[in-house]
Amino acid sequence: MIDRGKISVIIPVHNTEVFLNQCIASVLNQTYKNIEIILINDNSNHECKKILEKFAKDHDNIQLFQFDEQKGVGAARNYGVHKATGKYIYFVDSDDYLPERTLEILMDNIKDFDMIRGSIKTTHFDRGMAVILPGLFNTKMYNENKYNLLKSKSVLNFLIKKEFIEKHHLSFSENHTFYSDLFFMVPALINVHQIPYIKEAVYFRRLRNDPIRNPSLSQMDKSLKVGEFLDIYKQLKRNYSDDLAGAYLDKEFLNYYRKTIVSYLKEPENIDSIFDSLHEATTLLNKGVINNYDYVLKKEINTLYNGNKGSYKRVDKRHRFLRELKQGLRSKTKFKLFIYKCFFTKLPIKEDLVLLESFQGRSYSDSTKYIYEYMLEHYPNKKYVWSMNEKREIPGNPKQVKRLSLSYYYYLAKSKYWISNSRMPNHVIKRKENIYLQTWHGTPLKRLAGDMEEVHMPGTNSVKYKRNFFNETQKWDYLVSPNAYSSEIFKRAFWFDKKMIESGYPRNDILYTRNDEENITKIKKELGIPVEKKVILYAPTWRDDEYYEKGKYKFSLKLDLDKMRDKFGDEYVIILRMHYFVASQMDVSHLEGFAYDLSSYSDIGELYLISDILITDYSSVFFDYAHLKRPILFFTYDIDKYRDSLRGFYFDMEKEVPGPLLTTSNEVLQSIENINEISLDYKEKYEGFYEKFCSWDDGNASKKVIDEVF
């Protein structure tokens, strides 16, 4: 490797302690060795500061500068340039990553040019780090089209001669947070004629997994960004008369208007707040630039240019409707949404209407069912609508609507109250008058929503998943909690700060009110289960990574049912109860009279009541079953994978759960044989577990919830 002069790598840092080690190590690890690393701590937290100080102490080529108040990326980078002693300047963000040859490749190709750029890849880093393969490096020259390199509006992965920066007094804006790079890059590009671009010199930019709690700059609030963008556009247009730069800025402005501003203006009050600035921006557009755009954009921009807010609002409203209609005509589903959005949600809300749903319309079950049955008795004057995938017999004969049908949307819009035990569709519009009671459906063992590091469900990207989840939880007015442990997790994982109803679960009321011989016999008879036989219930959860397609999960049964029947067939029967996400069919036809597949039976609570032993794994069912104080076996044959790579747990199962963790079917069989001994062994642990997770319930949770909401 040839030494072609020193590079100053400037890394501004603000609270990126999770990513920092990886980032700095990747710079230290560069094959191009003549570098100095300038770290600017923009007033980060203690943990971050500690990491930075350690790096600075351990490496002679790292210098650390600290700001004692937060000044922003722009100020930090300017300070870095000011301190740099290298011939070249290169910026890295403190959550990003460089493969080891990036700087070497850039240096080999910059030659006499003032700057060079490599390619930027955006990634979650969930497939590990990529490396650059050795090979032929293709240099592509950017001339007239040089502004294409600025599509991401960022200085990242440009290697620039320091002399050039000084000559043209390039600096970042210190008054702007999001687009501060443009102040540096626009004049930089005005002053170069040619820039080589090397595809193989890669810079990996991290897509943050938590857009809510740990957002990157680009994931932050729109209202701040829009104001800033307009401001920067106007300043740059006024400062530089260069044709190519002007054309670039105009194009960026029109794209930004279309992509971001239009959706920002959905709230009419936002039009009031930025209209003047927006009008001013349109007066700076080059003559004729708008001619190449479509009618709708032309009309809006011309109206803005004329400066009459009233007529802009009218045009905006009309176009918004047309856009919705255009979307709506794309498919039957979209048409329903169009009607919902543009008509149903404009109708008055009915005060006495309650819409209910359980497990996304899959069943008449869970807490929603018990809340409903309580309300039916105590609030007979309210009108109830159940959202169901298929029509069922429901007490009180309420109206049933097929989930996601036109009448579902109609009742969704008209009902004042919504009660559900899981997420509603993303596009549900909550109006001011709506009251949304969310019961949720289990004490969490597996990490939930905001607490999940990576989301491994098929067809789901972590950022989108969390953002959608966040949008959902912000609609909840009330959330039911089964125990103090869950309250704490729910607040954090659901970003929930409204009313937590700490009542225990309505779905578990029957475990107190109907736990008697007469009732148990009745349920057994209804299910066709021999009354004299004892019952084992096998109720495992689903696996995020085993599926046929999105939402349809696989399950392969690891219990040896034939052996079980041979051993216990005289005394027991077994109920197989798969999670509602599992689409695999259990074939138990050859085990008639011993194995019963009740996966589609609506209410698992009734199955708890009639069973003498529960076998489960990581499903929240064991928290509920524990209310009965009956023995539980944990068939956790894949615990390492499940805990470590799929979900992560909130606590150590081995230490806390009130039964043994078993890994083979034989161990399960042995445990059933010795079930009395196991119960004795786990007695004390069970009591502690019950105290922690079950002590709020006493059979009155439905009443407590309803008293709170109504």
Contact residues for ligand C2G (CB under 6 A)? 366, 441-442, 444, 448, 539-541, 577-579, 604, 619-621, 624
What does residue 119 show for φ and ψ, rounded to 5 degrees?
-90, 155
Task: From 559, 551, 553, 539, select the one nearest 442 (Cα to Cα).
Answer: 539
The answer to whether 137 touches 105, Cβ cutoff 8 Å, is: yes
Name the minimum Å distance from CB 655 to ligand C2G: 20
| Residue-wise DSSP of 353-421 | EEEEESGGGT-S-HHHHHHHHHHHHH-TTSEEEEEESS----TT--EEEETTSHHHHHHHHHEEEEEES
Q: Which is nearer to ligand C2G, 78 or 367 (CB)?
A: 367
The residue among 116 and 388 lying less far from ligand C2G, judged by its C-beta, is 388
What is the DSSP secondary-structure string of 125-186?
A: -TT----PPP-PPPEEEESGGGGGGGTT---TTEEEEHHHHHHTT----SS-SSSTHHHHHH
Judged by CB, which is closer to ligand C2G: 205, or 441? 441
Q: Say if residues 415 and 400 touch (Cβ distance below 8 Å).
A: no
Instruction: Give the integer Cα–Cα distance in Å for 2 and 307.
Output: 59
Question: By C-alpha distance, which of 278, 304, 281, 289 is closest to 248?
Answer: 289
- To ligand C2G, the closest distance from the beta carbon of 555 in angstroms equals 9
Least CB distance from residue 616 to ligand C2G, whole Å?
7
Pick between residue 256 and residue 625 the one whose CB is nearest to ligand C2G: 625
In the complex, minimum distance from the CB of residue 440 to ligand C2G, in angstroms, rounded to a whole number:
6
Identify which of residues 16 and 439 has a Cβ nearer to ligand C2G in the complex. Answer: 439
Q: What is the rounded CA–CA span in Å between residue 442 and residue 624?
A: 8
Least Å distance, CB 613 to ligand C2G, is 15
CB of 694 to ligand C2G, least distance (A): 13
Q: How far is the CB of 449 from ligand C2G (least distance, A)?
A: 8
Nearer to ligand C2G, 55 or 623 (CB): 623
Euclidean distance between CA atoms 623 and 6, whole angstroms: 61
Minimum separation from the CB atom of position 368 to ligand C2G (A): 11
Which CB sits closer to ligand C2G, 651 or 710?
651
Token pair, residue 277, equals 């600035």
Burial class (CB in 10 A: 0-12, 13-18, 19+), 49: middle
**Cα–Cα distance measured from residue 556 to residue 432, given in angstroms and rounded to the nearest whole number:** 46
Quick one: 252 or 366, whose CB is closer to ligand C2G?
366
The answer to whether 454 touches 126, Cβ cutoff 8 Å, is yes
CB of 591 to ligand C2G, least distance (A): 18
Q: Which is nearer to ligand C2G, 430 or 446 (CB)?
A: 446
- Under a CB-based contact definition with an 8 Å cutoff, are residues 38 and 63 in contact? yes
Record the tokens describing residue 280, joined without a space.
Answer: 């001013």
Give the alpha-carbon dihedral of 677, 680, 686, 690, to 10 degrees.
120
Among 276, 182, 269, 183, smallest CA distance to 227 is for: 276
| Residue 118 or 540 with smaller CB distance to ligand C2G | 540
| Identity of the residue, 316 or 544, whose beta carbon is nearer to ligand C2G in the bound complex | 544
Which positions ≥6 away from 566 have C-beta within 8 Å? Answer: none
The percent of the chain in helix, strand and coil, each rounded to the nearest 5, is 45, 15, 40
Residue closer to ligand C2G, measured from CB, 442 or 659: 442
* Closer residue to ligand C2G (CB): 8 or 620: 620
Instruction: Specify the pairing of strand 383-388 against strand 399-402.
Output: parallel
Q: Which residues lie below 8 Å from residue 572, measured CB to CB, with a gap of 6+?
A: 533, 534, 535, 536, 612, 672
**Token duo for residue 664:** 């083979």
Alpha-carbon gap, residue 493 to 498, rounded angstroms: 14
- Three state DSSP letters for 683-700: HHHHHHHHHHHHCCCCCC
C-beta closer to ligand C2G: residue 539 or 626 = 539
Q: Rounded CA gap, 690 and 683, in Å?
A: 10
| CB nearer to ligand C2G: pick between 308 and 515 | 515
Residue 194: CA atoms inside 13 Å, Cβ hemisphere, count? 9
Min. distance of Cβ 619 from ligand C2G in angstroms?
Answer: 3
